[in-house]
């Protein structure tokens, strides 16, 4: 019997995406330790990584990091294919769609803060849509929109500022490249 | 910190804040109530407008509940129920709000504008 070795050909870019996704995953774990007053209101620290990757390596890499983080995070917390997973996924997909649009804004005028806030609004919009269409098909959930919108505005701004700091501080390479 | 915010970001933040306040006002303002629906024993006892200040006595199995309507608000002023939950609930102002005295089978519900939802009508 011969030992069979399965070798996947990986590129440096793959390694890089995996590292960034791991950093994002770490932030997700960290964030889960923070108590939240309302399910769904959380800072979304992992999106800082997504924003940095978006600024440095483009949308494709950012999408990989974001979706890998959602998938790995759900496996880690044991809610893969549970409602919470689909909420994360819908939020991430809507955020990425928004980022795909907002990244074309002139960079001279719009920075990570804009991307972050817009993505945060898209995130809650996507989540509320899934909640409404699937989990709680009742117009009463509209009552919660102001809370989620305020959280998106605040946390979106904070995450954007943190991401912008990293983007500005290390303009060429390293630092967060892992 | 400010050097990390570009001019356009302020625009985004401003529009975001205005949008949030606007949505909050729409969602949370609620319909202003204009009538009070008074039930006794599950049947509608009286439907009264909130525009006229008055006191209404509603008979129930335990005794008489007194409902006060004043300044477009309504409350149950007195009730023979042992725990006084409905009395302690205080003034009702928005459409959809309701005070129920279960032991005396009396309730006041405010209606008007568009009916707001709560877990009871789900």
ipTM: 0.83
- Global pTM reads 0.72
pLDDT at A171: 55
Question: Residue B122 pLDDT > 60, yes or no?
Answer: no
Average pLDDT over residues B102-110: 90
CA torsion angle for B70, B74, B78, B84 (degrees, to 10)?
A: -150
Percent of chain B with pLDDT over 70: 90
Q: Which residues of B touch A112 (CB under 8 A)?
A: 4
Contact A47, A95 (CB under 8 A): yes
* Structural domains of chain A, ranges and CATH numbers in brackets: 14-169 (1.10.1760.20)
The answer to whether A113 contacts B3, with C-beta atoms less than 8 Å apart, is: no
> What gap in Å lies between CA A112 and CA B77, rounded to an integer?
56
Q: Interface of chain B against chain A, CB under 8 Å?
A: 1, 3-9, 12-13, 16-17, 19-20, 23-24, 27-28, 117-119, 122
Q: How is residue A130 written in tokens?
A: 């899934």
pLDDT value of residue A163: 94
**For chain A, what percent of residues have pLDDT higher than 90?**
69
Residues of B in contact with A145 (CB under 8 A): 23-24, 27
Q: Per-residue confidence at B81, pLDDT binned at 50, 70, 90?
A: confident
Tell me how close the Cα of A77 comes to any Cα of chain B, in angstroms. Answer: 30
Model pLDDT for residues A146-178, shown as the tens digit of each residue: 999 999 999 999 999 999 999 988 655 545 554
Mean pLDDT within A3-29: 91
Count of C-beta atoms within a 10 Å radius of residue B91 = 14
């Amino acid at each position: 019997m011969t030992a069979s070795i399965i070798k996947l050909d990986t590129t440096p870019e793959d390694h890089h995406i995996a590292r960034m996704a791991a950093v994002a995953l770490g932030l997700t774990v960290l964030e889960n330790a923070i108590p939240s007053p309302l399910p769904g209101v959380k800072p979304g620290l992992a999106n800082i990584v997504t924003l940095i990757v978006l600024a440095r390596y483009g949308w494709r890499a950012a999408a990989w990091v974001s979706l890998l983080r959602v998938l790995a995070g759900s496996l880690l917390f044991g809610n893969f294919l549970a409602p919470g997973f689909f909420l994360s996924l819908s939020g991430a997909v809507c955020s990425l769609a928004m980022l795909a649009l907002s990244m074309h804004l002139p960079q001279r005028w719009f920075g990570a803060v804009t991307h972050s806030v817009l993505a945060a609004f898209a995130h809650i919009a996507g989540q509320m849509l899934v909640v409404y269409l699937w989990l709680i098909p009742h117009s009463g959930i509209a009552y919660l929109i102001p809370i989620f919108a305020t959280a998106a505005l605040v946390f979106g701004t904070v995450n954007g500022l943190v991401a912008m700091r990293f983007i500005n501080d290390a303009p060429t390479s390293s630092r967060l490249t892992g | 910190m400010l050097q990390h915010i570009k001019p356009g970001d302020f625009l985004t933040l401003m529009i975001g804040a205005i949008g949030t306040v606007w949505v909050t006002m729409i969602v949370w303002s609620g319909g202003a109530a204009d009538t009070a629906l008074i039930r006794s024993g599950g049947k509608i006892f009286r439907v009264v407008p909130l525009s006229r200040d008055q006191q209404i006595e509603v008979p129930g199995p335990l005794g008489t509940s007194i409902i006060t309507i004043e300044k477009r608000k309504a409350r149950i002023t007195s009730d023979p129920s042992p725990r006084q939950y409905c009395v302690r609930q205080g003034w009702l102002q928005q459409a959809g709000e309701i005070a129920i005295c279960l032991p005396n089978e009396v309730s006041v519900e405010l209606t008007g504008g568009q009916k707001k939802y709560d877990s009871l009508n789900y």
